A and B are shown apart, each in its own frame.
Chain A
Amino acid sequence: MRVAVDLHNHSCLSPCGDLSMSPRAMAARAAARGIGIFALTDHNTALNCPAFAASCARVGVIPLFGLELNSAEEAHLLTLFPTPRAALAFGAALREYLPDYPWDPESFGDQPVVDEAESLLGFEERWLCAALDLSFDELALRAADAGAIVIPAHVDRSMNSVRSQLGFLPSGSYDAVESLAEPPFELTGGAAAISGSDAHFLEHIGRRPTLVDLAGEPLAALRRSLAALAAGGWSGGAARQREEMADSAAAMYGDFLSDERLGLYPEAEAKALFEALRSALREKRVKPGFLPSRFIRPSEG
C-alpha cells in the first residue's frame, strides 16, 4: 500500500525551527496533512524525540526519530532510527563533537527541549547548527553502524549540501538521497531520490512528501501498538522528572536514557516497520514530490 512519508522536519529545538513547532503541534499537523510516517530530524540532536514519540502515538501518525547532522564540511546528512532510545543514544554519543561556541539566541534562535504537553524541560546550550568535528564519511559510517537509515539531505541545494560543499556525493552506502528537484545521477550514487519538507514552520509540514509502497501489516501492527501506548497515557518519559529544569543537554540525555518509561516504546513492531521502509527505499518503491526546477528560490536551490 502507498503511504505518504515526510522524513525531514525540525522542531522548536532546532534554532532555525519556529517556536510554534512543538512535537505536539507538529504531530497534529502531520495527521491533518495525511502523513503516515513522520520523522523528527533536528540539527545534531535527538532531545525532542521522546515528546515526538508520545505526540505522534496520540494522533495515529507513525514516528521516526532522527537527527540532521552537520558534518565538518558543513554538508547535512539525515540519520533516522526506529525508536526514541536509539536516536537519543546516537545524539548523546555525538555531542562531544559539537563545538562549544559562544552564541546568541537573539541572532540564532532558542533551542528548547519540551515534553509532550509543551512544557519546557531545558535548553541545549551549544549552538546546534554548528559543524560537528567529524567528516561526512565518518558520520555516515557511524550512523550506518548504529543501524540508521542514512539519507544525504537536500543534495541539490545551494547551501549545506554535498553539492555546495563538496561538488559531488562521496561514495558510500546510502539508503536514499533527498533532493529538492529531480537530481542528476552523479548526486544520487544510484540510490533512490526522495523529497522531504525540511519543515521549520507548521505550514511546511507535508509540503514535499514522498509516497512509499509498503506492506500493510508492519504499518498496522505498529499503529495498533502506538494506539495502545497512547491510550495508557504514555508521555515519552522524563517529563518533569526533575524538580528544576535540567541545567544541561548532557543531563537531559542522561535522564531520558535512564528512564524506564522510554522502554515501553513498541520496539519489535517499530523495527519491523523501519526495515520495511528501508527495503522500500533501497528498492526504489518511492514516488517523490519534487519541486519543479523553476520554483526553487535562490536561497533554497
Chain B
Amino acid sequence: MNIHEAASAVDAEIVQGSFQESELTGGYTSDLLSDVMGHAQAGQILITIQAHRNTVAVAGLIGAPAVVICNGRPVPEDMIDAARDEGIAILRTDFNQYEVSGRLYRALGH
C-alpha cells in the first residue's frame, strides 16, 4: 500500500502533497515523540494528533514517509512548510487513531 492508497483507506485529505510516492512497510501510532524516536521504523506511516512541526522533524529522522493527523486536527502552516522541505506527506482525517490504525493495519494485511 502506498501513501495515496493509505489516504483513501482512511478518507484523508492530503494537506502536504509534495512527496515521492513510496510503499509503506507499516504504521506507528503514538503521540509522544520520544516514543516515536525510540520505536518507529523507516517506511512506517506515523499516526498521531500531534499537529506541529516537531512531528515532521522526528518523522524525517526516523524515515517515516508520511504522517496522518487524526481527529480532524488543524495542521499549522509551519508544519506543512517543514514537511514540504523534507518531502514528507501529511494526511488529515476525521477518524480517530483507533479507527485509522485499524483500517491501515487491515489494509496492510498485518
Contact = CB atoms under 8 A, between A and B. Distances in A.
Nearest to B50: A159
A185 interface: no
Nearest to A131: B34
A173 B96 CA distance: 35
Contact of B60 (A99, A107, A130): A107
B38 interface: yes
A158 interface: yes
A158 B52 contact: yes
Contacts of B60: 107
Interface residues of A, number: 17
A130 B76 contact: no
A99 B57 contact: no
Interface string B43-75: 000000011111001001100000000000010
B53 A74 contact: no
Contact of B74 (A72, A99, A298): A298
B78 interface: yes
B52 A74 contact: no
A80 B40 CA distance: 34
DSSP majority for the A interface?
A: loop
A298 B52 CA distance: 9
B37 A101 contact: yes
Nearest to A103: B61
Given A298-B74, A298-B76, A104 B61 contact: yes
Contact of A99 (B38, B77, B78, B79): B38
DSSP majority for the B interface?
A: helix
A131 B78 CA distance: 22
Contacts of B77: 298
A297 interface: yes
B33 interface: yes
B15 interface: no
B32 interface: yes
Given A73-B32, A74-B33, A99-B38, A159 B61 contact: no
Contact of A299 (B32, B61, B76): B76
A74 B32 contact: yes
B57 A299 contact: no
Contacts of A74: 32-34
Interface of B: 32-34, 37-38, 50-54, 57, 60-61, 74, 76-79
15 contacts: A72-B34, A73-B32, A103-B61, A104-B61, A107-B61, A108-B57, A129-B54, A130-B34, A130-B37, A131-B34, A158-B51, A159-B52, A159-B54, A299-B53, A299-B78
Given A130-B37, A158-B51, A298-B76, 19 more contacts: A72-B34, A74-B32, A74-B33, A74-B34, A99-B38, A101-B37, A101-B38, A103-B61, A107-B57, A107-B60, A108-B61, A129-B54, A131-B33, A131-B34, A298-B74, A298-B77, A299-B52, A299-B78, A299-B79
